[in-house]
Chains A and B, each alone.
Chain A
Amino acid sequence: MKHRGILAGAVLLSVVVAFAVLSTEAASQYSPDIPDVDPHKAFGSKNAPVTMEVFSDFQCPACKTLFTTTNRRLMEDYVSSGKVYLIHRDFPLPMHAHSRVAARYARAAAQLGKGESVEQALFQNQEKWEQNGDVDGTVAAVLSAAEMTKVRALVKGNSLDTAIDKDYALGQTYRVNQTPTTVFHCKGQIYPYSGVMTYDILKQFLEQLLAQK
């Protein structure tokens, strides 16, 4: 009888629904306090309702796309208005030969208040320095001679590597395995996302996060 098949299906249906409901017992994803925030690499208000940690690699093409397209509008519309606290995290992937060196230079420049212009120079000239490894020359093009001397001194020290390693270790706790990965924090919950984000779609998500009571 055809109805027997439907009856069997209905019984199975209730079993599967019950299984699906019970199996989504994921661990609570309450965010811990956000550790090791370098004030030179963080933008906006610490009290913003949404925090975004962006794990990025200077040699990664997708990170370049995110930086040159979405991040600019994000800074203008959400970070400047105190709605989003944006933290840049270094996550130099081992497969990229020069990304750790670039991260050192960017961190050193950030300590002199020149982080944004150096990050911009590194991303915009990514294809050049990843070929010849001339990170120093790329950074020198946007800094004065005096600033460059200070940056080189900082790069030679070990303190920058310690900070980069802390970011990397933090990324591993979030199970970051590719860049860019953005970890959103809002209302005690965390939302990790890997890949480039179109501004319109990101805006929709941020508006939903901000609309939560």
Chain B
Amino acid sequence: MMPSSPLNLRRAIIWIGRLVLAGIFIYAGYAKLTMGMRPRPPLGVALSFFALQVDSYRILPSWGVKWVAHTLPFAEIGLGLLLLIGWRFRIWATLVTLIMLGFFAAVVRSYALGMQINCGCFATPEPLTIKTVMRDGALVALALLMTIFAFIEARRPHPWTAPEKA
């Protein structure tokens, strides 16, 4: 089997997706935990404030809102780090893509229903507008391409791998 080129388009998109999505996930998780404030509010205050934002989407029951609010910021940081490190990349890329699809579905639903809420993406007061929908759509597309290309590339020998001895 021919090894793939180290500089092909698929590899470039995987790297762009890896860097962009990892950066966004780490920043989003960190921003939710600190709320961008100095001095930083206690963790309990930050997480319960984020719960208000999750609740504003009117999708989950109270227990679901609390569970998401208390796990999502840590999951975002963890997944961002795992994307960057690259260990078991396809597993984490798939998980990130599924989470991004979930975010996108929630944002589209709220926008379509005309709900006057904040996105809650980066713990700042950011109204949910068509701009938010388009941004999330672009990130979902990037995540999908990154994951699909990662699976395609995994079927080919890596260009830096030494050829097998006959």
Are B118's CB and A205's CB within 8 A?
no
Are B45's CB and A209's CB within 8 A?
yes
B26-44: CB near A (< 8 Å → 1, else 0) gives 1100110011111101101
In B120-160, which residues have CB < 8 Å from any A CB? 125, 127, 158, 160
Are A205's CB and B31's CB within 8 A?
no
Within 8 Å CB of B39, what residues of A?
28
Are A204's CB and B48's CB within 8 A?
yes
In A145-197, which residues have CB < 8 Å from any B CB? 175, 177-179, 181, 189, 191-197
Tally of chain B residues near chain A (CB < 8 A): 44
Residue of B nearest to A29 (CB): B37
Cα A2 to Cα B89 in complex, Å, equals 11
Within 8 Å CB of B30, what residues of A?
20-21, 24
Within 8 Å CB of B16, what residues of A?
none
Is A34 part of the contact surface with B, judged by Cβ < 8 Å? Answer: no
Most interface-central of A16, A29, A62, A212 (chain B CB within 10 A): A16
Cα A8 to Cα B6 in complex, Å, equals 14
Is A131 part of the contact surface with B, judged by Cβ < 8 Å? Answer: no
Are A195's CB and B84's CB within 8 A?
no
B108-126: CB near A (< 8 Å → 1, else 0) gives 0000000111100000010
Are A205's CB and B48's CB within 8 A?
yes
Set A5, A21, A177: member contacting B127, Cβ < 8 A: A177
Within 8 Å CB of A17, what residues of B?
26, 81
Are A12's CB and B19's CB within 8 A?
yes
**Can you list 28 A-B contacts with CB-CB less than 8 angstroms, sorted by A residue number?**
A1-B158, A1-B160, A9-B18, A9-B86, A12-B19, A12-B22, A13-B84, A16-B84, A17-B81, A20-B23, A20-B26, A20-B27, A23-B27, A24-B34, A24-B36, A178-B127, A191-B35, A191-B41, A194-B117, A194-B118, A196-B56, A197-B52, A201-B55, A204-B66, A205-B52, A208-B42, A208-B47, A211-B44
Binding site for A on B (CB under 8 A): 18-19, 22-23, 26-27, 30-31, 34-39, 41-42, 44-45, 47-49, 51-53, 55-56, 62, 65-66, 80-81, 84-87, 115-118, 125, 127, 158, 160-161
